[in-house]
């Protein structure tokens, strides 16, 4: 068992190192990216030999994340400290100053949209994902686990998209498209049960 753990740590270290080297290059190096992810996958497979199919991959993912965090901390400690640049003071716009009340409402509306609209869209899409998996005959525990891992990632992705996209039309189209696809999938899978 110790050999598999050491092999898993070595593969994870090599995978993180290859991905770091690919990230540092100015031009994307697909061979390094592929090698890095193959080594990370090999590490997870190696860890699955230590504690079984259920706990082993979880230990492998934890090992990869810890090695990546150690690499990030080491890189941050060795990076030169940049001198802060002075920021020019902001000048008020010539069209008049916006009221604090209006700016507060705009910020509050954005936060509410990110939290609630993104939450509702994430719940709808992950429910549709769960129903599609159930209709396809996926084992219940695996389906539930996949859905539980997908939910925070979908919500975070939608929140980031809603928060950073400056095009309101693309926000509406993405959210309406996601809602429409989720609704269609839910209706189709509900009729199958």
**Dist CA 119 CA 53 (whole Å):** 32
DSSP 1-62: -HHHHHHHHHHHHHHHHHHHHHHHSSS--HHHHHHHHHHHHHHHHHHHHHHHHHHHHHHHHH
Percent of the chain with pLDDT over 90: 30
Residue 94 binned pLDDT confidence (cut-offs 50, 70, 90): low
Q: Is the pLDDT of residue 139 over 80?
A: yes
User: Is the pTM here over 0.85, yes or no?
Assistant: no
Q: State pLDDT tens for residues 39-93.
A: 999 998 998 888 777 788 888 888 898 999 998 888 888 888 777 777 777 765 5
Mean pLDDT taken over the chain:
84
What radius of gyration, in Å, describes the C-alpha atoms of the chain?
A: 23
pLDDT at 97: 52
**Regarding predicted confidence, which is higher, 119 or 181?**
181
């Amino acid at each position: 068992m110790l050999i598999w753990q050491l092999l898993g740590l070595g593969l994870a270290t090599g995978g993180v190192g290859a991905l770091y080297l690919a990230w540092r290059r100015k031009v994307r190096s697909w061979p390094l990216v592929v090698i890095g992810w193959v080594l990370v996958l090999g590490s997870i497979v190696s860890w699955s030999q230590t504690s079984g199919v259920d706990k082993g991959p979880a230990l492998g993912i934890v090992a990869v994340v810890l090695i990546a965090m150690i690499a990030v901390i080491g890189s941050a400690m060795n990076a030169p400290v940049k001198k802060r640049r002075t920021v020019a003071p902001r000048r008020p716009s010539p069209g008049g100053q916006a009221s604090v009340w209006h700016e507060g409402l705009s910020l509050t509306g954005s936060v509410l949209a990110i939290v609630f609209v993104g939450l509702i869209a994430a719940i709808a899409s992950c429910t549709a994902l769960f129903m599609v998996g159930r209709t396809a005959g996926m084992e219940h525990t695996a389906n539930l686990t996949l859905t539980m891992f997908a939910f925070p990632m979908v919500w975070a992705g939608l929140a980031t998209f809603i928060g950073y996209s400056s095009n309101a039309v693309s926000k509406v189209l993405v959210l309406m498209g996601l809602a429409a696809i989720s609704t269609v999938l839910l209706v189709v899978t509900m009729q199958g049960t």
